[in-house]
Amino acid sequence: MWKGRIVGVWSRAGTIIANLFLLNALWIICSLPIVTIPPSTAALFSTVRSWIEGEEVVIGPYFSSWKRYLKSSYIVGIPTLCIAFILYWELAYYAKNHSDVALMMLSVCIGFTIVFISAVMHLGPLLVSVRLSFWDLARLAFFTGIKNFFLSVVTVFLAWAMVIVAIVTSKVAIVIGLVPAAAWLNCYITLRCLRLRQKEVPTI
């Protein structure tokens, strides 16, 4: 009996690891042209969301999601990247100046950046979980991030920060599938927060 359980656990662990490797490889390959990062990332979130719902297939759901979210990922992704670039430029600009006005503007930009990050952390999972217009989706991401700010920071943000550090320092994350693992946690936390507001979002 216990031997069968051990074999089952090892088999389950092997399946999870293989899926992480495969999904990580698909995401990297499909993101190589750079301009395809938005639909590739949307497909990543959609695939891990299907895992949360009990489906363990990778290739089929990934490519079907890639096609499904091709247009909407750009509609959401391009404005998001533009805002991120503007905030980065503003932070870099005011950080180089030491006047009172510059320090005040730097504080304002830091505040906007914190709010922006808290919303963006939920944007990908929400894109593949609800059917809303761009503005309604952005508003839902904003309120989800603000309302669950502490949970987002200590889980989602920390997970992505660790992945980024791993990629920059050792490139290990690219090999062992930390990106899909972080995306899974990101999606799980977002769906958990979203279910608390299920009556407000009937399109889940």
Instruction: Please state, in angstroms and rounded to a whole number, the distance separating the CA atoms of residues 97 and 104.
Output: 11
pLDDT digit string, tens, across residues 84-128: 999 999 888 888 887 878 888 888 899 899 889 888 989 999 999
pLDDT digit string, tens, across residues 29-84: 999 888 999 999 999 999 999 988 888 788 888 999 999 999 999 999 999 999 99
| Burial class (CB within 10 angstroms; exposed 0-12, middle 13-18, buried 19+) of 193 | buried
What pTM value is reported for the model?
0.85
- Could you give the residue ranges of the DSSP H alpha helices within the chain? 2-31, 37-52, 59-68, 70-96, 100-127, 134-147, 149-151, 158-170, 172-176, 178-195
- Name the token pair of 44: 């990543």
Which has the minimum average pLDDT: 25-34, 129-138, 192-201?
Answer: 192-201
- Name the token pair of 46: 């959609």
The domain spans of the chain are 2-195
Query: pLDDT value at position 166?
Result: 83
Given a contact cutoff of 8 angstroms between Cβ atoms, the answer to whether 204 and 130 are in contact is: yes
pLDDT digit string, tens, across residues 137-196: 989 999 988 888 888 888 888 888 888 888 888 877 677 788 999 999 999 999 888 875
